[in-house]
Amino acid sequence: MGFDDPVVIILILGVAVLLFGAGRIPAFARGLGQARREFDKAAKGVYDEPQKVQAVSGEKTENTSVDPLIEAAQREGIDTRGKTKQEIASALSWKLNNTRE
């Protein structure tokens, strides 16, 4: 009697329904599907890595569209070269919070 036996699979599913309830099982399955998609993306090398900012203090290049976050940071005098958007947002937030006081 192995795990490929239909009776065993039905028993496992029945226990899962009793333990978690019928409402949680679809959410669990969605979570597994999303995890699988993320795993497949990472395996292919198509994952969402923080992008380094290409814009250099006010200059526009053909490949870079100007991001409002970058524009705001540059207006406040924050150097955006070589920083991720998250780092720029953090620096801008810190500067704006300290200038209000």
Q: Give the pLDDT confidence of 37-92 residue by residue, as tens digits.
A: 888 887 777 555 555 555 444 444 444 567 888 888 888 888 888 888 899 899 98
Tell me what the mean pLDDT of segment 17-42 comes to. 85
The radius of gyration of the chain from alpha carbons, rounded to an integer in Å, stands at 24
pLDDT higher for 72 or 22?
Answer: 72
d(CA 46, CA 27): 25
User: Which phi and psi (to 5°) does residue 52 adopt?
Assistant: -75, 140
Show contacts of 97-101: CB within 8 Å, 24+ apart: none
Specify the pLDDT at position 100.
62
d(CA 9, CA 16): 11
d(CA 25, CA 31): 10
